[in-house]
């Protein structure tokens, strides 16, 4: 399915729920409000998007927001297997809370745990929300946010002995 | 009841007739992960994969290093499948830079990808043999893997960490006597696969341990979002090389093996069939490369920038010497998503650039990271001794899952 | 047929070599020397894999390189093994497992650190989730490389054997009860602090 056809399909299916739909270089991204993410996800699942490929979060400290993106695609409908659709939600940086989509797509369970430990995004309704990869002490520091700085080797300061 | 210590594991009685067993991270199989299982007798009631023992913070380190440096960094995730894991990252950069590699470079990438895929599947078979107590399979698979590791070494100069693709091309051209070596390796491996079938895949002991174990139905596979040979063993015809052909996979002739059963044996068979297809792709790529000798392996605009000495080295030896400007290059702002098919399944890169010398965000989702969910939802209901069979059959590789 | 003694390994005719070895072991050496001699030929690494160098660790015992010829065989349980090969990066979570495994092993026990990451972080030198292995366990032999080829691992095993023979590590450890040539390594902070079952 071409991105343009997918765009038509989405506009028809989502109606006014989507805040913004963008197509760039074959990558379709749907931006929605935090309240309407579950109905949109349900609509997408009805269309045939049956699994989550990745749950990505990006930190924008200047705009004081964290954008959580679900990249969804389909296994069972072969025409939908080609495109990857991004479903994005903007959350405030000081208190990022959103509804968990594990009820819609179970494949997002482990990756939501990852976003939780790396960015501190809380998913309401997640069955088992605890750190996946990190030890609890590190998980509290939200390591993938931009204000957690990792020092790189430089010709002026030399090699940092270790991370502090 | 007090915790009782056994060799390498802690056993606790959590409820009446329910025991909790901690398996790993030091355990007889291979893999640096822990699975906490709760047992009723020897039937698993609940399994909780505890991963992250090899989490080396690839995503954070990619954000602080210049655009080219994540290539050797990211390939440490799956050191045995190094080309497959870096090609999608390089593709993402090329999408952002609006650059495309010349066809010869694409064919060289595909050639190395398929060599890596065969080596990776053989590694998987060897580890599977260790899990099932079948030492012959470990010895044979690792011995034959050396053939393909050697091929990759001749092509790139490194046994495992090739760092072969660079944005716009590849690092080195093929040596002259490479095609003959590749054809010999392919002939050898075809003969060996028949012996593998006799000693491992059709072995009655192995068949008894794998048949009907860890069955993942078609709908369940789609619900859990698992990838690679595991999803193709459940009757879903999905392969990135087919869904979104990257590099030159649309010009090559190969099949996607699909099995319907969804059990551990079907997953093993998919890998055997995939090795056959990869061998055929290696032959086709080598034939094409021999027919198109002397074509460039980097784009013309890059070649024009090279100083005289670098050009001489490139034309005489086929080696690309990168300029210092490559290390600090800036990439236009934007977002790109790229995917590729590794030996274990689909890998996805989401790269975001703000126009600087380092990536703003690199998100990588590896096949094993998506397969880890199998332990939670498929393992319960099986007996404890089925766990090694399921673990080995989904070909889980912890450094890749933990990133 | 002449028999040569290379580092107390007899090479040549098997019957003559066996007689010479018998004479040496039973007639000339003390029991402590025999323990050192025996330890060098039965270095069994525990099956603890810490990172991606494990791929080359596995290849070392594969038919092409065949490290079993040095008397080393990877074994599953720490109680029956006497050395650890640390394959690459040790993360904070893994440091706990490494220390527990090390403490479970009976002495004399030795450690080989494999790969650049085990030396001083390697590619991941500024990562927030790794520890230096020498802060967790005492390391005897380091192998550089990223990843080191299987030949380098085999070389490290031979180096460790020589070290045990020259410094009489195994026998003096048994006599004195502790490692005589170096201080014990105590992890700076409790590496298993995070672990709550």
Same domain for C94 and C15?
no
Per residue in B43-87, pLDDT tens?
A: 888 888 888 888 888 888 888 888 888 899 898 888 888 899 999
Domain count, chain C: 2
Indicate the range of C44-53, C132-141, C171-180 predicted with least confidence: C171-180
B337/A contact by beta carbon, under 8 A: yes
C188/B contact by beta carbon, under 8 A: no
Residue A25 has pLDDT above 80, yes or no: no
Same domain for C123 and C172?
yes
- 3-state secondary structure at position C159: helix
Pairwise CB contact (< 8 Å): C129 & A138 = yes
> A103 pLDDT band (50/70/90 cuts)?
confident
**B34 φ/ψ angles, rounded to the nearest 5 degrees:** -120, 135
Among B227, B274, B339, B366, residue whose Cα is nearest residue A82: B339
> B7 pLDDT band (50/70/90 cuts)?
very low
B224/A contact by beta carbon, under 8 A: yes
Same domain for C14 and C90?
no
Same domain for C1 and C79?
no
Pairwise CB contact (< 8 Å): C93 & A135 = yes
Same domain for C19 and C79?
no
- B225 vs A107, A131, A144: nearest CB: A107
pTM of the predicted structure, to 2 decimals: 0.89
Residue C190 falls inside a structural domain: no
Among B367, B377, B351, residue whose Cα is nearest residue B401: B367
Q: How far is B322 from chain C (nearest CA, A)?
A: 20
Q: How far is A85 from chain C (nearest CA, A)?
A: 32
Pairwise CB contact (< 8 Å): C49 & B31 = yes
> B3 pLDDT band (50/70/90 cuts)?
very low
Q: Which residues of B176-212 are buried (b: 16+ CB within 10 A; e: fewer)?
A: eebbebbeebbeebeebeeebeeebbebeebeebbee
Same domain for C53 and C143?
yes
Strand A85-92 and strand A27-32: pairing?
parallel
Same domain for C98 and C162?
yes
Q: Which residues pair with A158 in a beta bridge?
A: A154
Residue B18 falls inside a structural domain: no
Residue B248 falls inside a structural domain: yes
Name the average pLDDT for chain A. 83
pLDDT for B189: 92
Residue C49 falls inside a structural domain: yes
Domain of B174 in residue numbering reads as 58-402
Pairwise CB contact (< 8 Å): A160 & C125 = yes
**Mean pLDDT, to the nearest integer, of C145-167?**
89
> A86 pLDDT band (50/70/90 cuts)?
confident
Among B347, B340, B339, B338, residue whose Cα is nearest residue B397: B347
Domains of chain A: residue spans and CATH: 3-106 (3.30.460.80)
Mutation site for C-interface testing, chosen from B79, B135, B141 by largest number of C Cβ within 10 Å:
B79
pLDDT for B180: 92
Residue C184 DSSP class: P
Which is more confident, C196 or C53? C53
Which is more confident, A2 or C43? C43
Residue B43 falls inside a structural domain: no
CA pair distance B149, B144, nearest whole angstrom: 9
Same domain for C16 and C109?
no
Which is more confident, B52 or A154? B52
Q: Give the number of residues written for chain A.
A: 164
Q: Is the separation of the CB atoms in B45 and B52 below 8 Å? A: no
CA pair distance B346, B227, nearest whole angstrom: 6
CA pair distance C68, C55, nearest whole angstrom: 17
Same domain for C23 and C84?
no
pLDDT for B6: 47
Per residue in B281-333, pLDDT tens?
A: 999 999 999 998 888 888 888 888 888 888 888 888 888 888 777 878 888 88
Same domain for C167 and C116?
yes
Mutation site for C-interface testing, chosen from A137, A138, A162, A164 by largest number of C Cβ within 10 Å:
A162
Domain of C1 in residue numbering reads as 1-29
Per residue in B377-401, pLDDT tens?
A: 888 888 888 888 898 888 888 888 8
Mutation site for B-interface testing, chosen from C90, C93, C191 by largest number of B Cβ within 10 Å:
C93
Among C129, C89, C97, B55, residue whose Cα is nearest residue A162: C129
Chain B hits for A75, Cβ within 8 Å: 221-222, 225, 231, 236, 238
| CATH number (domain holding residue B337) | 1.10.645.10
Same domain for C171 and C125?
yes
Per residue in B172-226, pLDDT tens?
A: 888 888 999 999 999 999 999 999 988 888 889 999 888 888 888 888 888 888 8
Domain count, chain B: 1
Residue written as tokens 């025996």?
C38
pLDDT for B11: 63
Same domain for C135 and C50?
yes
Would you tell me which residues 5-64 of chain C have a C-beta closer than 8 angstroms to some C-beta of chain B?
Answer: 46-56, 58-59, 61-64
Residue C184 falls inside a structural domain: no
B385/C contact by beta carbon, under 8 A: no
């Amino acid at each position: 399915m071409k991105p343009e056809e997918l765009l038509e399909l989405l506009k028809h299916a989502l109606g006014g729920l989507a805040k913004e739909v963008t197509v760039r270089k074959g990558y379709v991204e749907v931006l929605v409000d935090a309240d309407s993410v579950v109905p949109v996800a349900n609509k997408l699942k009805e269309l045939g998007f049956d699994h989550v490929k990745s749950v990505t979060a990006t930190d924008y400290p200047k705009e004081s927001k964290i954008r959580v993106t679900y990249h969804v695609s389909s296994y069972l409908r072969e025409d939908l297997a080609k495109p990857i659709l991004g479903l994005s939600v903007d959350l405030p940086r000081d208190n990022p809370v959103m509804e968990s989509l594990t009820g819609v797509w179970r494949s997002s369970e482990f990756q939501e745990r990852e976003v939780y430990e790396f960015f501190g995004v809380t998913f309401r309704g997640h069955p088992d929300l605890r750190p996946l990869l990190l030890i609890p002490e590190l998980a509290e520091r939200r390591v993938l946010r931009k204000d957690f700085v990792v020092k790189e080797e430089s010709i002026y300061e030399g090699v940092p002995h270790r991370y502090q | 009841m007090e915790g009782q210590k056994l060799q390498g594991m802690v056993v606790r009685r959590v409820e009446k007739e329910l025991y909790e067993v901690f398996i790993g991270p030091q355990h007889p199989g291979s893999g640096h992960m822990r699975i906490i299982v709760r047992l009723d007798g020897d039937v698993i009631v609940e399994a909780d994969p505890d991963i992250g023992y090899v989490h080396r913070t690839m995503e954070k380190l990619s954000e602080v290093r210049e655009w080219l440096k994540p290539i050797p960094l990211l390939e440490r995730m799956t050191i045995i499948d190094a080309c497959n894991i870096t090609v999608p990252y390089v593709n993402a950069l090329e999408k952002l830079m609006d650059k495309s590699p010349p066809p010869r470079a694409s064919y060289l990438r595909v050639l190395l990808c398929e060599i890596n895929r065969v080596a990776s599947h053989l590694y998987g078979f060897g580890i599977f043999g260790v899990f099932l107590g079948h030492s012959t399979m470990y010895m044979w698979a690792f011995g034959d893997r050396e053939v393909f590791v050697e091929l990759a070494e001749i092509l790139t100069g490194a046994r495992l960490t090739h760092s072969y693709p660079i944005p716009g091309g590849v690092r080195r051209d093929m040596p002259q006597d490479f095609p003959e070596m590749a054809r010999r390796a392919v002939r050898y491996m075809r003969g060996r696969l028949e012996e593998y079938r006799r000693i491992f895949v059709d072995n009655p002991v192995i068949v008894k341990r794998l048949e009907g174990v860890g069955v993942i139905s078609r709908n369940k596979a789609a619900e859990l979002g698992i990838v690679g040979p595991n999803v193709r063993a459940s009757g879903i015809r999905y392969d990135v090389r087919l869904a979104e052909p990257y590099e030159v996979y649309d010009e090559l002739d190969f099949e996607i093996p699909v099995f319907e059963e969804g059990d551990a044996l079907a997953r093993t068979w998919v890998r055997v069939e995939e090795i056959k297809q990869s061998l055929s792709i290696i032959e086709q790529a080598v034939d094409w490369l021999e027919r198109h000798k002397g074509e460039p392996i980097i784009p013309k605009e890059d070649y024009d920038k090279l100083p005289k000495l670098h050009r001489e080295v490139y034309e005489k030896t086929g080696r690309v010497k990168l300029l210092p400007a490559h290390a600090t290059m800036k990439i236009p702002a934007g977002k790109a998503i790229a995917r590729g098919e590794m030996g274990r399944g689909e890998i996805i890169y989401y790269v975001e650039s703000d126009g600087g010398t380092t990536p703003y965000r690199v998100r990588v989702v590896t096949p094993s990271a998506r397969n880890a969910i199998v332990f939670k939802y498929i393992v319960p209901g099986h007996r404890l001794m089925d766990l090694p069979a399921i673990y080995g059959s989904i070909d889980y590789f912890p450094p890749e899952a933990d990133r | 047929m002449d028999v040569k003694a290379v580092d107390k390994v007899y090479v040549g005719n098997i019957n003559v070599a066996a007689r010479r070895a018998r004479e040496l072991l039973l007639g000339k050496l003390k029991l402590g020397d025999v323990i050192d001699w025996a330890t060098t030929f039965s270095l069994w690494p525990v099956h603890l894999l810490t990172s991606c160098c494990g791929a080359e660790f596995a290849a070392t015992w594969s038919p092409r390189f065949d490290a079993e010829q040095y008397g080393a065989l990877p074994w599953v349980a720490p109680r029956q093994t006497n050395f650890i090969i640390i394959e690459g990066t040790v993360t904070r979570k893994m440091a706990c497992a490494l220390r527990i495994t090390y403490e479970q092993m009976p002495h004399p026990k030795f450690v080989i650190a494999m790969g650049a990451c085990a030396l001083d972080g390697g590619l991941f030198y500024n990562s927030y989730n790794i520890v230096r292995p020498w802060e967790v366990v005492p390391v005897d032999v380091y192998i550089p490389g990223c990843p080191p080829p299987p030949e380098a691992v085999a070389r490290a095993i031979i180096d460790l054997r020589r070290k045990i023979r020259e410094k009489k590590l195994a026998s003096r450890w048994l006599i004195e009860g502790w490692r005589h040539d170096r201080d014990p390594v105590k992890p700076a902070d409790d590496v298993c602090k995070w672990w709550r079952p």
